[in-house]
């Protein structure tokens, strides 16, 4: 008699299940998920109407669930590799150095291009007087200064001062971004106010001569083509910073096109198109930067890591040493661009101090090998019935 399908799984979907491998495996004190695998033979269900409308169907929900399970197992396998080898698997040292040089070249090219193209757009703004082009130039200024913040942060981190900055200077980046955001918001609001003033004014003061139009078109088209080439180049990398540059270059392409089209339409059709285009670009810049501000605020206030990341840390801690009896607490929270981790583990009460210390210190070093973690703190205890350490006080 066939086994009934599990709840939420349609009949015939058994190939999606995580099945244990055949054969006996040696059991140990460690958690081990090597016996689970995902079937290699899967047929993607046919696309339906809900797929076209962007709505998840029943099969999509099941597939998404099992995809999460596969990603969880991949994370556990990564932690197993860290436990067994003492380092995360990846490229060789020579390959990492080669990729790092290419990524550094891409970042430098982007920064140099941003400076040169920003100067060209400033000239185009002066020659045309177009509010839309000025708003596009403001967006380029945002990219230029944000790149400078990243460079300054990286330079500061290379010169640590353990006496004045005992936990490092990585929080200078989000702080610099927050300060810069207030300046950018002020400039964006100023452009919006000037555009509104131009709209309610009865005077049509916007017009371009043939020479001014030629200069503006040539500069803006050249800037757009260079930015488009940088988008294609930077998207060939996997580094998150380089991919962020690619996204900024792509946004610049959009703002340049909107600014140029608004200026030309205002010159040939009706003048109010230029201030309307400027308002659209200014609102777009403020919205984009506001999202960046919220992200950096969350990194400074100590937001908890995702549950999937906490699962990986718990798995790593439990498999660290067979003397660990319980895991009392696992916390990971943002403190700048990386995580701070707090772990409370329970060891036998009769264990010598030296042995307990070595277990805790080696676990701390292992946790700090993860690229997402800046600092890890391991607390050793002999029981777990007490209240969690550093519990927040509540008003009675």
Tokens at 361, concatenated: 């210190």
Using DSSP bridges, classify how beta strands 36-38 and 339-346 pair: parallel, antiparallel or unpaired: unpaired
pLDDT surpassing 90 at residue 360: yes
Would you state the torsion angle of the CA atoms of residues 320, 324, 325, 328, taken in this order, to the nearest 10 degrees? -80
Label residue 285 exposed, middle or buried (CB < 10 Å: 0-12, 13-18, 19+): buried
Contact criterion met (CB below 8 Å) for 16 and 66: yes
Total count of domains within the chain? 3
Inside any domain, residue 143: yes
CA 2 to the chain's CA centroid: 46
Q: What is the mean pLDDT of the chain?
A: 75
268 assigned to some structural domain: yes
Q: 184 and 124 in one domain?
A: yes
Calpha distance 342→364 (Å, rounded) = 9
Among the three residues 85, 115, 144, which one is the final residue of a domain in this structure? Answer: 85
Count of CB atoms within 10 A of residue 304's CB? 12
- Residue-range definition of the domain harbouring residue 192: 93-300
CATH at 313: 3.30.70.1350
Question: Do 207 and 269 have their domain in common?
Answer: yes
Among 58, 85, 112, identify where a domain stops. 85
Q: What is the pLDDT of residues 280-297, one digit of tens each?
A: 888 887 887 777 778 778
Give a yes or no: residue 8 inside a domain.
Answer: no
What is the spatial distance between Cα 263 and Cα 131, in angstroms, rounded to a whole number? 8
Tokens of 87: 């380092």
Is the pLDDT at 63 greater than 60, yes or no?
yes
Tell whether 338 is covered by a domain. Answer: yes
285: CATH = 1.20.1510.10
pTM: 0.61
Query: Beta strands 373-381 and 326-334: pairing type?
Result: unpaired
**300, 335, 367 - which closes a domain:** 300
Q: Is residue 115 part of a domain?
A: yes
Q: Is residue 393 part of a domain?
A: no
Residue that wins the pLDDT comparison between 243 and 372: 372
Residue 352 — pLDDT band, cuts 50, 70, 90? very high
| Structure confidence at residue 105 as a pLDDT band (50, 70, 90) | confident
Question: Which residue in the block uniquely carries the two structure tokens 């659209």?
Answer: 280
Identify whether 4 is part of a domain: no
- Find the mean pLDDT for residues 77-95: 68
């Amino acid at each position: 008699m066939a086994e009934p399908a599990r709840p939420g799984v349609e009949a015939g979907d058994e190939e999606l299940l995580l099945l244990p491998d055949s054969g006996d495996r040696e059991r140990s004190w460690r958690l081990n998920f090597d016996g689970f695998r995902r079937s290699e033979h899967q047929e993607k269900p046919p696309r339906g109407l809900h797929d076209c409308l962007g709505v998840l169907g029943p099969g999509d929900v099941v597939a998404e669930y099992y995809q999460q399970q596969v990603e969880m197992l991949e994370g556990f396998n990564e932690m197993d590799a860290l436990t067994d080898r003492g380092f995360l698997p990846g490229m060789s040292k020579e390959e990492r150095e080669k990729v790092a040089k290419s990524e550094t070249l891409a970042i430098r090219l982007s920064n140099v291009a941003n400076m040169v193209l920003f100067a060209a757009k400033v000239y185009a703004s002066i020659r045309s007087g177009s509010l839309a082009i000025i708003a596009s130039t403001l967006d380029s200024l945002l990219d230029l200064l944000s790149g400078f913040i990243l460079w300054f942060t990286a330079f500061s981190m290379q010169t640590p001062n353990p006496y004045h900055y005992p936990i490092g200077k990585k929080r200078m980046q989000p702080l610099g971004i927050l300060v810069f955001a207030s300046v950018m918001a002020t400039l964006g609001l100023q452009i919006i106010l000037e555009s509104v003033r131009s709209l309610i004014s009865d005077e049509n003061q916007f017009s371009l001569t043939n020479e001014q139009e030629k200069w503006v078109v040539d500069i803006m088209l050249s800037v757009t083509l260079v930015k488009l080439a940088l988008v294609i180049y930077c998207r060939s990398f996997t580094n998150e910073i380089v991919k962020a540059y690619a996204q900024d270059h792509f946004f610049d392409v959009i703002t340049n096109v909107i600014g140029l089209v608004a200026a030309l339409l205002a010159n040939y059709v009706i003048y109010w198109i230029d201030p309307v285009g400027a308002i659209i670009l200014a609102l777009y810049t403020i919205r984009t930067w506001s999202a960046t501000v919220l992200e950096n605020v969350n990194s400074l206030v100590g937001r908890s890591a995702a549950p999937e990341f906490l699962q990986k840390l718990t798995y790593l801690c439990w498999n660290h040493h067979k003397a660990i009896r319980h895991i009392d607490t696992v916390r990971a929270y943002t403190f700048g661009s990386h995580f701070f981790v707090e772990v409370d583990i329970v060891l036998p009460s009769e264990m010598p101090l030296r042995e307990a210390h070595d277990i805790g210190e080696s676990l701390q070093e292992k946790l700090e090998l993860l690229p997402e973690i800046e600092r890890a703190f391991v607390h050793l205890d002999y029981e777990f019935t007490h209240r969690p350490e550093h519990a927040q006080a509540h008003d009675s």
